[in-house]
Structure 1
Amino acid sequence: MQLFLVITTLILSIVYTQPSSLQNVSSLESSNQFRANEIKNAFIYAFKGYKKYAWGHDEVQPVTNTTSDNYNGWGVTIIDSLDTMIIMGIEYNDSREFIKNLEFTAKGSSKKISVFETVIRYLGGLLSAYELTKDELFLNKSVELGNVLLPAFNTPTGIPTGMVDLVKKKGALGVNGHNSVLAEIGTLQLEFRRLSELSKNPIYLKKAQKVIDILQRKCTELPGLYPVFINPYNGTFTTTLVTWGGLGDSFYEYLLKQHIMVQGKTSQYIDMWMLAVNTTMKKLVYTAKGFSNLTYLAQWENGEPFFKMGHLACFAGGNFLLAGKFLNNTSLTNLGLNVTATCYNTYIETNTTIGPEEFGWISPSDVISSKINKSQKAMYKKHGFFVTDASYILRPEVVESIFYAYRVTHDPKYQDWAWNIFKSINKFCKTSIGFSGLEDVTNITSDWNNSQQSFFFAETLKYLYLIFSNTSLISLDEWVFNTEAHPLRIGGG
């Protein structure tokens, strides 16, 4: 690596003294090794800022150089970033030492913790670190944390509450009142299965599997698709909203990934996933009026679709692609590629070439709505979508789907797409100590939002790095990613 850096420096110095050598610059920048190294350097830069200004806290606020503790106060950036450091070959001794001394107890005002966020960021990060290193410390901490989370399942139905009270050591109501969230109760299974396999304790899988069994028995308006809110005390749905976006997303993601993790030894997960996808293709997949090349996923509420899609839902392109690979299903592969291209379009058609948090479109059977404003109409007529929430919080879902598109097709255009996104993030989101989200992706002078989410390390930079790495690194034939991009071994190998 040092030799490569020396060579890179020499080439760049030659380019500087010989401006006519533009072709050499282009060749260098297009090389996978150069791009991967630039992404690794971005990780190192951002982690250095976190380490200097917020070590031990959850996240750094990269504009004011202050700290944030919204995820239990346990140093989520340290654990969420750990497997990315291992994959990139970055030294992590300080992170290991921090984890060694970490206690999963109430910190400050964080007496209640989100089960979902704790599972995907902390437990997923620790399990993945163990899988990659076989360091027993990470497994022991995983078991310790798993036991902290078990009280959430002590409900009459077995459906977990949204939070755990660390002081009372019992389940607690989440921010949605008496409701649990579909994506939250259905995004525990990969981690809890792996924890049971590694610890030889079946309790974690038993608790998580019961949730899937309960949901499979329920009849819904749209077969295989479930409303996003459910009461954990009586098991009734409390809304009609169905979505592949936030609140629903990772439930469907995990149905497929559970099938992959168990290597198809049971048909339950793939049966549920295929039923959901078949209904989605009938009821929720839409092209845009005047833009038949754009493929969106609608949401459903009160018996009808509505045409908004969030950045979070863009993971679905990758999910369909992953299914296409494992099921040898060309139609799923094509659907995945179309959704991925549509989500990428929301990036390249904004002024910052970064995608918005939420966007809408007009279905082929509709007229351009009077409910959207003049600028939205103009944007739609030109680009096939309009922005409904212009913020960007360093989300990974579009580069995640581009990662799957490249791994499945090996088409280098997807590497170029990923590189374009990275360059835009580097241009508009980089602060003096790290990277911040944007308030408005349609404005090239947008304010930063002063937040550097831990998933920027765990997901966004990891997927970008892997797109330019050898496909044998975290092979899709050997690993499955949790929803926070923490790789877990297929088959419990």
Structure 2
Amino acid sequence: MNRNLSFTQCLATSLATAILFTCLLLPQVSLAKDKISKKEKKEYQERVKTAFIKGWDAYMKYAKGLDAVNPISEKGHNWYAESLLMTPVDAFSTMYLMGLEKEMSEAKELIFSELNFDKDLEVQQFEIAIRILGGLISAYQLDGDQRFLDLAVDLADRMLPVFESPTGIPYRLVNLRTGATSGQGTNPCEIGSMMLEYGMLSKLTGDSKYYDLCKRGIVASFERRGKTGLQGSWIDQDTGEWADTRAHISGGIDAYYEYLLKGYLLFGDKDFLEMYEVSRDAVNKYLVDETSVEGEFWIGWADMNTGERISTRFGALDCFWNGCYVLEGDIERAEKLQASINKMWFLNDIEPEAIDYTTMQPFYKGAEYYMMRPEAIESTYYVWKATGNKTYYVQGKKMFESIEKYCQVDNGYVQLKDVRTKEKWDTLESFFFAETMKYCFLFFADDDVFDFEKYVLNTEAHPLFNTWDKGWKGNHHGIK
């Protein structure tokens, strides 16, 4: 395999030595940082904070107490029949890192006075887990207020019935009041990308049920992997039979793979490491595409059993994979994929949802929108921090400037219906605050703002860290 470091070398058997190539990369990072003026970093820190605050002010003015804001029409909306305070919960960890005391106080007042999970609502368990459960757990660890953890336990207990299937593979939907489950059929992302959140809850409460139930579903899905080692797109929870054998790293599968690696990094569970290695090798063998476009590196779609390529689609969500490359130390592949991500973003000065990488056109009608997704910025941030190459810092700076230029409106920020025309889409979802602005801010933040020796970021970019092992000195980003 064409790798800078073998994965076994990079991830040794204990967390103290598992996490990644510090001595190899630190000199590069130090040299690169010297080339960026403190004045410029300070200027951009303030610009990102200003953008965040502008979006938050729009929420507080037009959508206070609801899930999200529609800045142009000056109103808000909920995901379900009643609000779950998606934006305040999702935004809190970014507020904390930015040091926004006023906004933190406003968010806490809303959360502790209005957030209540005793609602007759059927919710999508995975989305609620990564945004709200993860947000509450992270807020508890950062802020220390016990009420955050109490809310997290209440929410998790209400969602646990999803794991009561014959195979252990969770159902997609659950009623928060009755515990009734539904949603026949699911995807790997909704099976495994809650492991960090439920696992953290077990560690913080001492109750193993959250960890064990979630891991059981992951193992069940992994054991049913295709002959290539890849996961398919859709599986029946009751029978364990695949209904859709298309394999990829796009939405529906993406964070399943992310959480195998991060599950190992956070918990030291070697089962996750083994499952990640199998999956990673399969992605590199069957999904990586270096032949369709000469000299370029993309990740497409293939059949989970035959490995036959079935699509040359790559999209905004797929960019998360570069974080995995960086975390495991495969910098050569990370830089190749980053070149493709950069090309996709700047073709129209801001990225579309999905492209056909052989034509660089939207992959399907409607794929020309930009949802304010963070994954391309996240990828750029990881590669910048791992290599110290100022090129990636500049890319990240320009990505933020693209959002400023095209997504900003008088009353906040909005998504785009079409990246080619820059037509506005009047909505601002919570991950703008949780992820997009957090990664933008971290590009320019002082080194002591974020402790890379302790934290793993969940797929919603909420920092999680192991309070159960005070001696851990891991450094999974290879930087300080």
- 2:83 corresponds in structure 1 to 73
Residue type at the aligned position of 1:99:
I
Aligned to 2:319: 314
**CA positional deviation for 1:33:** 1.1
Does 2:452 match 1:476?
A: yes
Q: Distance in 2 between matches of 1:287 and 1:191?
A: 35
Which residue, 122, 131, 143 being the options, matches 2:141?
Answer: 131
Q: Which amino acid aligns with 1:386?
A: Q
Matched, 1:270 2:273: yes
Moved more, 67-76 or 117-126: 67-76
Q: 1:106: Cα distance to partner?
A: 2.5
**Contact 1:479-1:489 at 8 Å conserved across structures:** yes
Residue by residue, what CA displacement relative to the aligned partner does 1:97-134 show, whole Å, maximum 9, x if unpaired? 22112111337xxx210101110000000111111122
Give 1:127-166 correspondences, 5 Å limit: 127-166=137-176
1:195 aligns with 2:170: no
Match of 2:212 among 181, 203, 206: 206
Gaps of 5+ in 1: 1-26, 325-331, 363-379
Q: Distance between the aligned counterparts of 1:440 and 1:140, measured in 2?
A: 42
Deviation, structure 1 residue 29: 9.9
How far apart are the structure 2 equivalents of 1:470 and 1:335? 28
**Partner secondary structure for residue 181 of structure 1:** coil
Q: For 2:129, which of 116, 119, 123 is the aligned residue?
A: 119
Matched residue, 1:448: 424
Q: d(CA) in 2 for partners of 1:291 and 1:463?
A: 31
Residue from 367, 379, 383 that aligns with 1:401: 379
1:238-277 matches, within 5 Å, as 238-263=243-268, 266-277=269-280
Secondary structure in 2 matching 1:276: helix
How far residue 46 of structure 1 moved from its aligned partner, in angstroms, is: 0.6
CA distance in structure 2 between the aligned counterparts of 1:472 and 1:201, rounded to whole angstroms: 33
Partner of 2:26: none
Match of 1:99 in 2: 111
Q: Residue 491 of structure 1: CA displacement?
A: 6.5
Q: Deviations over 1:165-204 (max 9, x none)?
A: 234322122xxxx211210111111111100111111111
The question of 1:422 aligning with 2:400 is answered yes
Which residue of structure 1 lines up, in the alignment, with residue 61 of structure 2? 52
* Maintained 8 Å contact 2:192/2:215: no
Contact 1:58 1:74 in 2 (8 A): yes
Tell me the residue number matched to 1:24.
none
1:338 match:
336
* Matching residue of 1:354: 350
Verify the 8 A CA contact 1:318 1:340 in the aligned structure 2. Answer: no
Partner of 2:52: 43
SS of 1:452 mapped into structure 2:
coil
User: Following TM superposition, by how much is the alpha carbon of 1:345 offset from its aligned partner in structure 2, in angstroms?
Assistant: 1.1
**Cα distance 1:137–1:343, how it changes in 2: closer, same or farther (>3 A)?**
same
Q: Partner of 2:286 in structure 1?
A: 283
Map 1:361-440 onto structure 2 (within 5 A): 361-362=357-358, 380=359, 385-388=360-363, 389-440=367-418
Match of 2:465 in 1: 489
* Contact 1:261–1:491 (8 Å) recurs in 2: no
1: CA distance, partners of 2:141 / 2:239? 37
Pair 297,492 (structure 1): closer, same or farther in 2 beyond 3 Å: farther
Aligned with 1:438: secondary structure?
Answer: strand
Q: Is the 8 A contact 2:290 2:297 kept in 1?
A: yes
- The residue matched to 2:413 in structure 1 has which SS? coil
What is residue 466 of structure 1 aligned with on the other side?
442
Do the aligned partners of residues 219 and 116 (structure 1) sit closer, same or farther apart at CA in structure 2, a change above 3 Å counting? closer
CA distance in 1, matches of 2:461, 2:372: 14
Task: State the Cα distance separating 1:28 from its structure 2 match.
Answer: 8.0
Describe the SS at the equivalent of 2:290. strand
CA contact (8 A) 1:59 1:68 kept: yes
What is the match of residue 4 of structure 1? none
Residue-by-residue CA offset, 1:205-232 (whole Å, 9 max, x unaligned): 1111111222333341321x11121111
Cα distance in 2 for partners of 1:79, 1:235 equals 34
1:411 shift after superposition: 2.2
CA pair 436-154 structure 1, distance change in 2 beyond 3 A: same
Deviation at 1:313, TM superposition (A): 0.4
Letter paired with 1:44: I
Change (3 A) 1:429 1:29: farther
Deviation per residue, 1:378-415 (Å, 9 max, x gap): xx4xxxx2232211010000001111112211222222
Query: In 2, Cα distance between the equivalents of 1:117 and 1:86?
Result: 22
Distance 1:30 1:291 in 2: 41
The 3-state SS of whatever aligns with 1:113 is strand
Query: Residues of 2 paired with 1:120 and 1:100: CA distance?
Result: 19
The size of the alignment, in residue pairs, is 424
Give the aligned residue type for 2:116: E
Larger Rg: 1
Q: CA RMSD in A?
A: 1.8
Deviations 1:27-75 (CA, angstroms, capped at 9, x unpaired) = 9897111111100110001100100000110000122111111156211
SS at match of 2:53: helix
How many Å separate the matches in 1 of 2:352 and 2:165? 38
- TM-score computed with the length of structure 2 as normaliser: 0.85
Q: Is the 8 A contact 1:310 1:359 kept in 2?
A: yes
TM-score by length of 1: 0.83
